[in-house]
Amino acid sequence: ARPATGLSGQRGYLVQAVEEYLTEHGIVDEKTLAGGGFRITTTLEPAKQDALVKAVEDQVTSRLDPAASPVDRYVRVGAAAVDPANGQVLAMYGGVDYTRQYVNNATRRDYQVGSTFKPFVLTAAVQSGAQTQQGEPITPHTVYDGRNRRPVEGWPGLPYDPSNEDDENFGEIAVGAATDLSVNAVYAQMAVDVGPGHVRRTAVALGLPGSTPDLTATPSIALGAATASVLDMATAYATLAAHGRHGTYTLVESLSRDGQEITVPTPTARQAVTREAADTTTAVLRNVVRTGTGTAALAAGRPAAGKTGTAEDDKAAWFAGYTPELATVVALMGQDPESGRQEPLYGALGRPRINGGGEPTEIWAQFTRDALAGTPPRDFDLQVMPGAEELPSV
């Protein structure tokens, strides 16, 4: 057996992710792969990979002090960057060191994605021409009742009245602003108006696996109860960046064994949702970065769109964001290294709480700035639904 040191740092996570990719896509079965002798060229770009590792170290790892704050022992980071043009995974961060922590934080599917799921609800609404209970078309300007614990209307199941973060009351609020401020009451109602089944189908069309745990067609789908992986989310956000065109992500560029080339399927992109639906969502997510919860992303120094998210009980904090040429998702997760139990991140890194707009967005901004350094900033070329050209800021 190879000494474990060969898998130290990020290497082990990347090897594991590539092996999973090859077996899950039926390219090579596990037994054959275990036999070895393969030469694998990945899609990962060394410069971007290094930039991602450095961003995590600068923003989080170097600042952890478990002696002063025991909660810092729980902090895990996962990140993945995907090229919207072709679905190639360009960089991935799996954890502090594969030889010390085997679980890949970029591919694990056991943390709630929280509010980073909300854009899929908006995309589904535009895609299907959905209407409110009052029969008004849903656009970024549509006004909803954003009061805390407001019961959703028109759902035949059990009464559902989710609370907003910190039990805040928003009153009458437009969809665009409700996205900027991540208002749960609005999005739970919107999921009912669109139809939770349609929301689920849209999320899967964008790139989440149909088998994602807790991706259930009920109103709570809107609040991100599903536990998709960081890589799953990066794939879905890359679809939004690509104006609604989706190709399955790919990690492997070429593969050979004993000098024989093995065919690796090239992902064929298809229009997963209409360009208007994807671009309208992007327009709203641009505002999240300009004036909402994701303003730390402005440090990337280029046009960007994105969404912050925090899982229940602060056990995970997310930022999912993109420029026209790069979609990247970053999550901080709380996990007890001994018991493996998910733990809240209250007090980590010396902060009262970890929000998606904090460290996850700061990692995203540093990585995106460095990964795209030397390339001119590109603006989004958006074709939005009528009336969504000018979005009000919060």
Residue-wise DSSP of 256-271: EETTEEE--PPPPPEE
117 pairs with which residues across the strands?
Answer: none
**Residue 98, both tokens:** 């594969």
pLDDT at 3: 42
Which of 394, 384, 393 is closest to 139 using CA atoms? 384
All structural domains of the chain: 4-371 (3.40.710.10)
d(CA 359, CA 378): 25
CB atoms within 10 A of CB 134: 8
11: buried, middle or exposed (CB in 10 Å: 19+, 13-18, 0-12)? middle
E strand segments, 114-153: 143-145
Torsions phi, psi of 340, nearest 5?
80, 0
Torsions phi, psi of 372, nearest 5?
-105, 10
d(CA 138, CA 280): 12
d(CA 327, CA 237): 6
**Do 161 and 83 form a contact (C-beta atoms < 8 A)?**
no
pLDDT at 15: 93
CA distances from 22 to 13, 17, 18, 98, 255 (A): 14, 9, 6, 20, 10
pLDDT at 129: 96
pLDDT at 1: 43
Exposure of 20 in the CB half-sphere (CA atoms within 13 A): 13
From first to last of its 394 residues, what are the pLDDT tens digits of the chain?
A: 444 567 888 999 999 999 999 999 999 999 999 999 999 999 999 999 999 999 999 999 999 999 999 999 999 999 999 999 999 999 999 999 998 888 999 999 999 999 999 999 999 999 999 999 999 999 999 999 999 999 999 999 889 999 999 999 999 999 999 999 999 999 999 999 999 999 999 999 999 999 999 999 999 999 999 999 999 999 999 999 999 999 888 999 999 999 899 999 887 889 999 999 999 999 999 999 999 999 999 999 999 999 999 998 999 999 999 999 999 999 999 999 999 999 999 999 999 999 999 999 999 999 999 999 999 999 999 999 987 777 655 4
**Do 199 and 182 form a contact (C-beta atoms < 8 A)?**
no
d(CA 367, CA 362): 8
The structure's pTM equals 0.96
CB atoms within 10 A of CB 281: 33
